[in-house]
Amino acid sequence: MKKIFKSRMRFVVIPILAIAFLFLVSYLVMVLWNYTLPGLLGVSTITLWQSTALFFLCKILFGFGKGGPKRGGPPWAGKYRGAGFRDLSETEREKMKARMRARWCGWEDADPVRDREEDTQNHEK
**Inter-CA distances, 37 with 31, 45, 49, Å:** 10, 8, 17
| pTM recorded for the entire structure | 0.48
Confidence (pLDDT) at 61 = 84
Residue 125 has pLDDT above 60, yes or no: no
**Secondary structure element (H or E) that encloses residue 24, with its range:** helix 10-41
The DSSP-derived string for 72-118 is: TS-GGGTTTTTHHHHT--HHHHHHHHHHHHHHTTTTTT--HHHHHHH
The mean pLDDT of 17-34, rounded to a whole number, is: 93
